[in-house]
């Protein structure tokens, strides 16, 4: 089983990386970009019997810092 974990900064948490990307897009002439937020995608290759509880615990204990980040789990196959 594979899972994709999307880690994103919570709303209200400043994202200088997103701002820099936004600025660079503006510089390339893409004027219609209203905002950019950058996050992380973490792909896990898991034993088939990995429980949802364990997967959630992996996110809470390490993959995301829930003080500043949200996470979304997407199971693939």
Partner 1 sequence: MKSAVIVFPGSNCDRDLAVAFEAATGAKPAMIWHRDTELPADIDLIGVPGGFSYGDYLRSGAMAARSPVMQAVAQAAERGAFVLGICNGFQVLTETGLLPGALLRNAGGHFVCRDVALTVENAQSAFTSRYDAGETISFPVAHHDGNYFADAATLDRLEGEGRVALRYAEGVNGSARNIAGILNEAGNVMGLMPHPERVIEPAHGATDGKRLFDGLVEGLMARA
Q: Which residues contribute to the site for partner 1 (CB under 8 A)?
A: 13-17, 19-20, 61-63, 65, 67-68
How far is the C-alpha of 69 from the C-alpha of 6, rounded, in Å? 10
Please report how close the Cβ of residue 48 comes to partner 1 at its closest, in angstroms: 25
Please report how close the Cβ of residue 68 comes to partner 1 at its closest, in angstroms: 5
Q: Which is nearer to partner 1, 2 or 40 (CB)?
A: 40
Strand, coil or helix: what is 40? strand
Q: Which is nearer to partner 1, 18 or 50 (CB)?
A: 18
Please report how close the Cβ of residue 24 comes to partner 1 at its closest, in angstroms: 12
The radius of gyration computed from the CA coordinates of the chain, to the nearest angstrom, equals 16
Provide CB contacts within 8 A for 18, sequence distance 6+.
9, 35, 36, 37, 38
């Amino acid at each position: 089983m594979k899972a994709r974990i999307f880690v994103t900064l919570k709303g209200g948490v400043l994202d200088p990386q997103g701002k820099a990307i936004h600025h660079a897009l503006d510089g390339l002439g893409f004027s219609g970009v209203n905002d950019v937020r950058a996050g992380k995608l973490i792909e896990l290759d898991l034993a088939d019997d990995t429980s949802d509880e364990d997967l959630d615990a992996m996110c809470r204990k390490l993959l995301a810092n829930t003080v500043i980040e949200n996470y979304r789990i997407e199971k693939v196959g």
